[in-house]
Chains A and B, each alone.
Chain A
Amino acid sequence: MRRRSSLPVTFLVPTLAILLVLSMVPTLYAIVIALQNRELSTPGYSWVWFSNFADLFADRRFLNAVWVSVKWEIVTVVATMVVAIGLGVLMFEVAGPRLRNFYCLLFIIPVLLPRVSAAFVWKFAYHPLYGIATYPYRLITGGLIFDPLSKPASALFAVASVDVWQWGLFFAVIVLKLLETLPPQPIEAARLDHAKRWQIHAYVTLPMLKAPLISLMFVKMIESLRSFDLIYVMTRGGPGVATETLDMYAFSQGFIESGKVSYASAMAVLMMVATVITFTMLWKRVQA
């Protein structure tokens, strides 16, 4: 019954035009800047073409940042999914409807917090002398110092724990809702075959949820790219460069240490290319 109408054009064109301008202008300009040698301190600049990129690949701190970013992605995505599936299944198994609602409400709270807030909350909690999270350790060992944020080996995991605190708990709620949408018959059938509880989930329910779980993982991979706030507040990339991810390094090159905007932009361009290619390929896969 839909007649020809001007609605799709008037509703879509302005919005898409604005989105295109707002996204393409900075993106293209990032590439332009990356091919120059701009610095914040000096107004002039010239074209240096690809020398920023060549410098990057000789920069060990950059390579370290790539490695830290990869580690960050893997640790946070895997830990988030494990926590989410674990808690989601537990809620599904042992909690009644009212308890489920209660837990769902609690588990959504951390993800709503600004990451800056979450980072502060845990930075205090991890304080070696006065922190609430390190208190049990002090109590048990009789006052030994445990300072997770200042040890290179543990700093990344300590920051990642905050990310998992926010996203793992939230995704647990989604996993529960997904489990609730499943038809009960296959579960009943498995139960009649004397399958154990964990077997039902490992072989029946989770395989049935494969597609949405992969989408969920995809979302988490995208969100994990936004690690900057946590790291900026909690460790500033330290100790040393142990938690310096790409965006942290780009920021410190462009703003804190030297104001090398072009150098930072070259890094941003590489990140952009890598993420756009990776996620476009993954997305097409997920959709297919």
Chain B
Amino acid sequence: MKPGKLIAKAILALAGFLAVFPLVWTALNALKNNVDIITRVPKVIFTPTLANIGYILGRDSVLTGLYNSVVACGSAVAIGIVLGLPAAYAVARYPNRWAGDIQFFVLSLRFLPPVAVAIPLMVIWLQIGLYDTLPALIVTYSLLTISVIMWLAIPAFQSVPKEIEEAAFVDGYGAYSVFWRIALPVAARSLIGAVAFSFVLVWNEFLIALMLSSSNAKTLPIVASELSQQGMNVPWGILNASVVLLSLPPLLFLGVLSGFLNSVFRQKKS
């Protein structure tokens, strides 16, 4: 093997290692007692403990945060599906003069700095009396989920072969049943990817949740970040355990999302 190729392989292996090792290390630290973490020489061999994870799962604030995150993200994604998918289908299949502008408008929502959305909304929710409630968070997140799902679903619907839909029309299907019974099932795989992506996006969201909640509606990322605000006096193992808990749901979608990525690029090739 040529030396150049060997170096290339070594660099790749190093990058792969760097991609996952910090996470693995965090997971290990979540299983350590504090004495095993605060060591100048990192300890690989230690007696594992479940105390940190037990502590995290036993805290009310963490459980409330988990509940809030699941409800807020779940509802926002559901709203995104109900409103985003049909709209995307209409843009993809019923071309009109404004199709380009609509797509640009949907994308431009992503340019808005989160602070610019969060500050006025905070004032608005305070005035209506909905500040620090889940409905306020759900409505705000819906803006994110609808636009992202729409943006990703338009190409997914466009990639459904037109002939299938035409054939269904010939068979006497109406426009709506073509959407329900043909387009949705055929595009389902890509659509699931788009939905999973929007879920990861709002699950990971931090700034808006931070500004729109003070006690009741805190989501998990906020709770996790607060654990560290108590300084480094908080046992590191507990912090590491909370990071692991926070990171698990998005990682569950690893398979779905990498499949989504593959399907996007397979379409481009053909």
Interface residue? B37 (CB, 8 A): yes
* Assembled-state Cα–Cα distance A3/B109 (Å): 33
* Assembled-state Cα–Cα distance A238/B224 (Å): 20
Report the minimum CB–CB distance from A280 to chain B (whole Å).
Answer: 7
B interface, over-half SS = helix
Chain B: interface size category: 35 or more
Report the minimum CB–CB distance from A275 to chain B (whole Å).
Answer: 5
Interface residue? A261 (CB, 8 A): yes
Q: Given A29-B123, A114-B206, A121-B22, answer yes or no on A181-B268 (Cβ-Cβ < 8 Å).
A: yes
* Assembled-state Cα–Cα distance A121/B28 (Å): 12
Interface residues of B in 30-44 (CB under 8 A from A): 37-42
Report the minimum CB–CB distance from A8 to chain B (whole Å).
Answer: 4
* Assembled-state Cα–Cα distance A38/B251 (Å): 42
Which residues does chain A contribute within 8 Å of B143, judged by CB atoms? 19, 22-23
Report the minimum CB–CB distance from B6 to chain A (whole Å).
Answer: 9
* Assembled-state Cα–Cα distance A88/B257 (Å): 19
* Assembled-state Cα–Cα distance A264/B118 (Å): 11
Q: Given A125-B25, A254-B119, A268-B116, answer yes or no on A117-B247 (Cβ-Cβ < 8 Å).
A: yes
Which residues does chain B contribute within 8 Å of A11, judged by CB atoms? 86-87, 89-90, 179
Q: 3 smallest A-B Cβ distances: which pairs?
A: A15-B87, A5-B175, A29-B120
Interfacial residues, chain B to chain A (CB-CB below 8 A): 4-5, 8-9, 11-12, 15-16, 18-20, 22-23, 25-26, 29, 37-42, 83-84, 86-87, 89-91, 94, 96, 102, 104-117, 119-124, 139-140, 142-143, 146-147, 150, 166, 169-170, 174-176, 179, 200, 203-204, 206-207, 210-211, 221, 224-225, 228, 236, 239-240, 243, 246-247, 250-251, 253-254, 257-258, 261-262, 265, 268-269
Interfacial residues, chain A to chain B (CB-CB below 8 A): 1-3, 5-8, 10-12, 14-16, 18-19, 22-23, 25-27, 29-30, 32-33, 38, 87, 90-91, 93-95, 102-110, 112-117, 120-125, 129-130, 132-133, 135, 138, 143, 165, 169, 172-174, 177-178, 180-181, 197, 222, 225-226, 228-229, 232-233, 246-247, 250-251, 254-255, 261, 264-265, 267-269, 271-272, 275-276, 279-280, 283
